[in-house]
Amino acid sequence: MAVATARVEAQAVPRRRARARRAPMVVFLTVLLVILVLPALLAPWLAPHHPLEGQLAEKLKPPVWLTGGSWQYPLGTDPLGRDILSRLIFGARVSLSVSLVAIFIGGILGTVLGLFAGYFGGWTDSLIMRAVDIAFSLPTILLGLVLAVVIGPSFRTVIVIVAFLLWARYARQVRGEVLSVKERDFVAQARIAGCSHLRIMFGHILPNVVNTLIVLATLQVGYVILLEGTLSFLGVGIPPPTPAWGLMVATGRALIVSAWWVSFFPGLAILVTVLTLNLLGDWLRDRLDPKLRQV
């Protein structure tokens, strides 16, 4: 018994050391995420200037540390004299709003369809999975251009495009989880007890795939922000003059040599946000997935 206990303790030491090494990184990423999210929530009170108002006399002012810069515009101004810092803060609100709404809509639709496909199988599974294959095969940019022509570039257009792309990811992932969970004993006991199909799916199977949904949603936030930025950059996403990060990058692409700060700071905001959310999503997956915890 003493030998077995010592062996277990010896195996636990490397895991504790690995967790201790990851802890500072997780704390740093969490603090960085709060720094990114908090200004978006408090944008009207934190932004030094109105994001849509500018002065042409102050256009293309450099950041404060360069010659000609001032603390009135710490990160400089764009071609219309608008404060870049204020537009970055309000742009975070736009990006996070798009992510939350699109992930919520796409996640619910994909989860329900994935539950039906995995639980019933047969022609239901084949029909839903073929729809998933079609959704994955459609080019994102072409879809965005078509919808922009049909309903016009808007917040709603971005939500429709992103939700349409996300539901297939959720449906495929949830279907795979349901195929495994539905063979367990507690599902068989629920059938024997006379539970309806809906009760089994949403009362017994769904709680066992919630962890996967949480991790998937976390990982998709970075993808949605990047996709929204791409669509806005191409002119089929958030229309001007709304402060969106992708749109801000597009505004300064012709000035990358003479006024690099117009594109650099929104591009840096996209990079840091996506990287932070992806790393946090990976950590959350390791914490919630029993198989990865054992490894």
| Cα–Cα dist 98/165, whole Å | 13
| Cα–Cα dist 78/43, whole Å | 19
Which of the four pLDDT bands, split at 50, 70 and 90, describes residue 23?
A: low
Which of the four pLDDT bands, split at 50, 70 and 90, describes residue 79?
A: confident
pLDDT of residue 263: 86
Of 43-52, 222-231, 266-275, give the lowest mean pLDDT range.
222-231
| Side chain identity, residue 186 | F
Of residues 190 and 101, the one with the higher pLDDT is: 101
What number of H helices and E strands is found in the chain? 12, 0
Of residues 277 and 120, the one with the higher pLDDT is: 120
| Cα–Cα dist 281/173, whole Å | 16
What digits encode the pLDDT tens for the residues 128-173?
Answer: 999 888 888 888 777 777 877 777 777 888 888 888 888 888 999 8
**Mean per-residue pLDDT, 33-41:** 77
Which of the four pLDDT bands, split at 50, 70 and 90, describes residue 8?
A: very low
Angle at 97 between CA 243 and CA 164, to 5 degrees: 110
What digits encode the pLDDT tens for the residues 210-225?
Answer: 877 877 887 787 778 7
Cis geometry, peptide bond prior to residue 241 (ω within 30 degrees of 0): yes
Rounded (10°) CA dihedral 248, 84, 94, 148? -20
Which among 106, 88, 90 has a CA at the least distance from the CA of 159?
106
Q: Which tokens belong to 39? A: 């200004």
Which of the four pLDDT bands, split at 50, 70 and 90, describes residue 10?
A: very low
**Mean per-residue pLDDT, 169-182:** 87
For the segment(s) 97-295, the CATH number from 1.10.3720.10, 1.10.1740.10, 3.40.50.300, 3.40.50.720 is 1.10.3720.10
77: β partners: 83
**DSSP string computed for 250-291:** HHTGGGTTT-THHHHHHHHHHHHHHHHHHHHHHHHHHHH-HH
pLDDT of residue 3: 44
Contact between 63 and 74 (Cβ < 8 Å):
yes
Whole-Å CA distances, 207 to 24, 89, 198, 212: 31, 37, 13, 10
| Cα–Cα dist 288/284, whole Å | 6
